[in-house]
Structure 1
Amino acid sequence: MTAERRTPACGTEGAHALGRSCEDLRLAALARYDVMDTPGEEAFDRIVRLTQKVFRTSMVTISLIDGHRQWFKARHGVGPQETARGPALCSSTIEQGSPLIVTDARRDPRFAQNPFVTGEPHIRFYAGAPLVTPDGQMLGTLCVMDQAQRAFTDDEREILVDLARIVIDELELRLLADADALTGALSRRAFRAEAQKAIDQAAHAERPLSLIVIDLDHFKRVNDTYGHDRGDAALIGSVLACAAQFAGRERIGRLGGEEFAVLLPDVGTDRALSVAERIREAIRGETYAFREGTFRVTASLGVTSAPADGACDIDMLLRSADMALYQAKAAGRNRCVVAASPIGRGAGLRRVLKRGSLVLGAGRESVPCTVRAVSAGRVRLDVLGAAELPTRFDLVMDGEDPAPCRVVTRSERGLEAAFE
């Protein structure tokens, strides 16, 4: 894919004409690719492995930057899946708008006191190339890092930029694909689009609709024990086993890795649970044979349904089903669990992706966040350390006055708050 890379749109008259800031446009592009918080994928892991072999550094990441954090789609030599955005050198790279090369961070006044330099992972050398979309938005970086200083030649810089373009090409291919190349299920993007259309239709016609999220149990163990080829066979066989239980308008999509979702139009909760149990038994009943023997896989399933008033979207349904799925895993796996609470609580929330901050302690502290959804009375946001935040704070979104808020619910990744 050889799409033209143009100068970033940030700060241009076009951005202002749309009434949107540079960061709004960048976050909108990130949302379009729908890649944040998705499971690992071999295509991106392969790029990281190749990058590490080329540059022989101890750390390599494909970093994506949202409003408040950097999240790693793939990584080598780095422990956490995500870190705060503020001190991230990858955030400095996209703000600079061009490759950032730091040969010795301890002697660079911009980064000498950076907590990722003075503490874990003790970065000394850093080279990052922005991940630039065809329309000029920077999603994050491909970066190489080391705990020892080193030089970086112009040729190496060009190689890193080319590898970053391969990352973008892979993301572009994901946008084009309606079907998952391995299993034939709908791609994540296509499933989300079809599901949202079905949700809107069900709400208009006042018809039921349910969703099942499926996760194959201990699948890393399958790949490690039997090999990725046989793991792929299990993914394909599980999708076929699911599809064999369908009788009408049901659709299955691959959300990523070993996680799938099934859309059930015109199906209420009780019937959806029955379908889920049939799917669970069908997956467990498949046998995968090879020369050395045979193996089987099991799955955990979370079931949820749209509220009677139709006030939900695909994100709300997936979040509800995911909570039920985690309960199924916590209870021992190889079982189905129905979401415990109705979805209607979030009625009216409109999906957005904006950078914001929580102002605490009469303005003495500011905590960055990413605003995910808003309505006239509520807001849903992602923030690191959500469990430790106070119940009340002021929310500041780009270009808006501070809004007093009160926490309603908390989750591992963020919280929902009511405007006061």
Structure 2
Amino acid sequence: MSDGQREALRQKALADLAILDTPPEREFDALTKLAQSMLGTSMASITLIDAERQWFKARCGPLEAETSRAQALCPIVVETEAPLILADARLDPRFAKSPFVTGAPNIRYYAGVPVRVFGDDGDSVTIGTLCVLDDQPRQPTLVDLEILGELACVAEALIAARSTALRAAEIAEERRLAVERLERERRQFKQAERMADMGSYRYDIAAQTTTWSDGVFAIHELPLSGCVPTTELMNFFPEPDRNAFLTAVKRTLDTGEPFEMDADFVTAKGNARRVRCSCEIELTKGKPAALIGLIQDITERHDLVQRLRHQARTDDLTQLANRAAFNRVLDTRLREARAVGGDVAVLLIDLDGFKSVNDVLGHAAGDTVLRRVADRLRASCDDGCFPARLGGDEFAIVVSADLDRAGLDRKVRHLLHDLEIVADGQGHITRVTGTIGIAWSIAAAQDRDVLLRQADAALYAAKRTRKGTAQTYQVGANHRQAS
């Protein structure tokens, strides 16, 4: 290893120890005094060699807290990684002109040994020295170096212990911060659970035990201090969602695929809810260990979606289905009819005399008439027929597939009677009737647009013949069949 590489390792080791420029420590001071006392010198130090200076972790005698590294004696011990002992530094050409020899502290006798730190791999790095100094020459002995060598081992142990203690303190601080972070995250998670009406659960497959977060207890309307009602868990899900949930869980256990589903839910207090459930496998060493997931109360969101969906499909005034919903239902019935070769009938209804209601009695009276018409259509459509308001004074019915032509004729006669409405107010009386156009899907090749055009053609043919009647569309028959 080159000198540059050794120097880089030394500076890294010192940086890792974080010992430079630290306050005095009793153990290091005591060791330095012991070295001074045992060897009978006027000075002693534990010296650490920084990049441009030598810094004394502990010192006795007239020594500065730090000095320049250049022309100092301790760096030689560190660089050679070998003990150094001098009877009189003035006689050694390496140090004869050193300012530390020619001036204060006037070093004459010097004895120093390396102080090392050891890595986890057992390799050592020399970072400084334990040395004794005197301003008077003296004859060195091997005992001097032996004593210093033993004391250097103690210095190395002190440095290692200090490093271990610092690391332990760092670990303790890291653990404290981690605990604080976990506690903060736990509080944040609980807040998030409350805000989102959500909770988490874990089912231990081997132990067959279930744990819940606070949010799950809240959704179930159970006390937090209570136990998880393991044997009753599925009772909170009414059928058919209970079976759907169990099937999804089994599929996850069999395939490892997660699932998410919405389900109806009844709390411990009997309150109906809508929940969203998710579930996935937790693996330990590649094997399923638990089922983990979330449950969220989405009742408000679900109700809002249902209301919006209802509004999107419903005429606001009459609360009948609107044109878009009517078209969807009709498309479904036509698709079913095509599959089995069946026939679907559509009735288009137009109110006669309705404009007079608005003109004579006002729009409020007209709205009342429209609501009365809707009520009568609903009353006549309890057998699977589907009524709708297409707009203005136009209504339509998709007829139940169970009705044959004879049954449809009876229904149309009843409808014509029910649609005779008398409106009065402000000394005026007006009469409203309904005219009906009928078309069958087979004649329209099961095409919705064609079917509606044919029903419309039959409607206006009936109006031309006599308002308040009905006609069925017949190809080439000039729509003459009236009721």
More helix by share: 2
TM-score interval w.r.t. the shorter chain? 0.3 to 0.5
The alignment's TM-score, normalised by the length of structure 1, stands at 0.39
Structure with larger RCO (C-alpha < 8 A, sep 6+): 1
Which entry has the higher C-alpha Rg, 1 or 2? 2
